[in-house]
Structure 1
Amino acid sequence: MLRLFFPVLLSAFLLAPLSAAGGREHAGETMLRVATLSGPSALSMARMVCDPSATVSFPAHFETAGSVDVLLPKLITGDIDIGILPVNVAAKLHAADPGLLVMGAVTGLGMLSVVSRDSNLTRLADLDGKRLYVAGQGATPEYVLRTLLKKAGITNVSLDFSLSTADMAAALASGRISYALLPEPFTTLALERDSGDPPLFRAFLLADLWSEYGFGENFPMTVCVIRRSVAEKNPGQIASFLESYRESLLWTRENPEAAAKCAQKADLGILAEVAEKAIPHSGYTFIHASEARPLVESLLSVYLEYAPAAIGGKLPDGSFYLK
């Protein structure tokens, strides 16, 4: 079964429509059906969803999915044209059927933090002998962490995957656990709930260690994928979508308060007060596929070492990347 990275932020429900269509529709253009994952990924499309008439110059329908397992069947059957997926899931789909999809852009970078209230925890080596609760077993968080521990020569860290991501954030805040690796917005949620002394804090980011140890500037978490048939038949419209998406993502990054209010209004799976504080730490980026291959391969090479089946057993070839 394909592993999903983002946990369900809402109670499970089927894809929910956000916007029937963008503004300024043009005769003869294909209605693009776009699905994103509720929570951080949906936040990157907040402006497109909340103000389509000002940001979308093509017919479009936006939906959210509570999990990757909900989104995937829609993408495979063609009920949606464009989706946001974890990098390894996109690579595995491509390996199974190279004609199914292309990657349009990297849209999210590493936003994984080691969180604790232990003021002596300032570097990876300080975890030696500790129990670290990890969100994301069998996915990017686990494999990036194992790669970094191996590089640093640290062998005595007990990795515990027994808690869900949401439970981990609550357990940190209540003091039931001492060390955790969390993604956003759960890191922000834990910090917001915390009233302990000393307070919880972000001890370090895996993205910083990834760069420090020479693996690359950062690692990708999510990508925008497009059904290949749609991309080939509508290249101009797809280019327009990607540009609108880039502008929406940058708007979210630069306007966290407005984006957070929009997210709550549109029911994108995250409360405004949490979203506003999480956005600056959420790794939003937009790197077109034509420039993203080295970044993607740096992460997928880690999967080849630890879980090659999770990406289809090989790195995607050049046809995976939209030109």
Structure 2
Amino acid sequence: MKKKLMALILCMVIALGLTACRMPSDGKRDADNSDVTQSQTQSYEAKDITVAALKGPTAIGMVKLMEDSKEKKTANNYDFKIAASADEFSSLLIKGDVQIAALPCNAAATLYNKSNGKIKVLGINTLGVLYIVEKGNTVQNVADLKGKTIYTTGKGTTPEYTLKYLLKKAGLDAEKDVNIEFKSEASESAAMLASSDSGAVAMLPQPYVTTVMAANSDVRIALDVTKEWEKLSTDGSTVVTGVIAVNADYYEKNKAAVAKFMEEYENSVDFVNSNVDTAAEYVEEFAIFKAAVAKKAIPYCNITFIKSNEMKTRINQYLTILYESNPSSVGGSMPDDNFYAE
């Protein structure tokens, strides 16, 4: 009997010891942690956020987020506006009627300077999307552009400065060694290329590159402008095409909502790059481009998600080169540190 009693007492002691190992010393931590988690979940309230983007690569990275928003699966309530030009929403972003926007990097810098700091940059969403395309097979490097007529768009904007930077780095004079013929739209440059003789050259953005190549089998990608930039530059810089900007006042008052957006946007970028076929269907669904074009173009669009210090370094390097080419390309002066969100 005594042996049975001793065995029972020993079992009770072991059981109590195991319980003590599982329970914090005050016996409340698990409950407290549960309460904190529940409180954190319940404390966030979805915000209504208007997001603008350009009809092109700067919008393609967010199509999964657009789809999730349509299905009511997002943390915030998003209203997406796709525009042909940043001019359509720039003033709205400054006023705060549009809270977040995807726009060209230099346009964001210009807007920051002209508005006295009423916007901030959250991240880079698109690197280089420009390509030198040729009807023929004579251009193998930038130096081979000597003597060529180059059809392109963007006189007085980023494409012009980018092209002239490459030519200069390759030892060519943009005024003497080549003939740059500016057109008002990328589709016009593509049409000029298609109707020209063999050896014609154009600098086009994606997905227009894909469109013109699909229509004419004689056209090929001769140079990836981003790769050529990186090969010729001596400062480690690269082309930064698109950024995500936010109204500065909205950002200061709604950092949690902006953080939620950034988290969901990053997931969208990952999805687009990993699931091209499905992403292409979304691109057509939201009237950005036809799915067949998007499917071929997405791998060449350099859609990305870069934030924090790397974002700041890359943007600053790129804007510095544009500023040295023409100060007005970034709004007259280099943006200060307040240009970058924390």
> Into which bin does the TM-score normalised by the smaller protein fall?
0.7 to 0.9
In the aligned structure 1, how far is the partner of 2:213 from the partner of 2:168?
A: 29
- Please tell me whether residue 33 in structure 1 is matched to residue 54 in structure 2: no
Deviations 1:25-71 (A, max 9, x none): 98744311111112222211111111224752122222211211112
Q: Tell whether 2:181 aligns with 1:160.
A: yes
How far apart are the structure 2 equivalents of 1:94 and 1:289?
18
The normalised TM-score by structure 1 is 0.86
**Does 1:108 find its partner at 2:126?**
yes
Cα deviation, residue 189, structure 1 = 0.7
Tell which deviates more after alignment, 233-242 or 176-185.
176-185
Contact kept? 2:189, 2:202, Cα under 8 Å: yes
Shift of 1:262: 1.1
2:254 partner amino acid: N
In the alignment, structure 1 residue 148 sits paired with structure 2 residue 166? yes
Query: Normalising by structure 2, what TM-score?
Result: 0.81
Partner of residue 258, structure 1? 278
Mapping 1:1-323, distance limit 5 Å: 28-52=45-69, 53=71, 56-155=74-173, 156-162=177-183, 164-175=185-196, 178-195=200-217, 199-213=218-232, 214-216=234-236, 218-267=238-287, 269-323=288-342
- What is the SS of the residue equivalent to 1:203? strand
**C-alpha deviation, 1:296, in angstroms:** 0.8
CA RMSD between the two structures: 2.0
Note closer, same or farther for the CA distance 1:215–1:184 as it changes in structure 2 (3 Å cut): farther
After TM superposition, give the deviation of residue 120 of structure 1 in Å.
2.1
- Distance in 1 separating the partners of 2:49 and 2:184: 38
Q: Cα offset for 1:116?
A: 0.4
Question: Would you say the 8 A contact 2:61–2:303 is kept in 1?
Answer: yes
Q: CA deviation at 1:223?
A: 0.5
Distance, in Å, in 2 between the alignment partners of 1:223 and 1:162 is: 25
Distance in 1 between residues matched to 2:301 and 2:100, nearest whole Å:
21
Residue 261 (structure 1) shift:
0.7
Give, in angstroms, the shift of residue 122 of structure 1. Answer: 0.5
SS of the equivalent of 1:51 reads helix
CA–CA distance in structure 1, aligned partners of residues 184 and 83 of structure 2: 23
- 1:260-291 Cα offsets, whole Å, 9 max, x none, are 11121222x21111011000000101111442
CA contact (8 A) 1:47 1:55 kept: no
**Matched position secondary structure for 2:79:** strand
Does the aligned pair in 2 maintain the 1:210–1:216 contact within 8 Å? no
Percent identity at matched positions? Answer: 32
Aligned residues: 296
Separation in 1, partners of 2:291, 2:338? 39
8 Å Cα contact 1:116-1:180 kept in structure 2: yes
Greater gyration radius: 2
Retained in 1: the 8 A contact 2:94–2:115? no
Q: Aligned equivalents of 1:264 and 1:77: distance in 2? A: 30
Unaligned runs of 5+ residues in structure 1 are 1-23
Q: Distance in 2 between matches of 1:36 and 1:119?
A: 36
Which string of whole-angstrom CA distances, capped at 9 and with x for unpartnered residues, describes residues 60-83 of structure 1? 222211211112122122211000
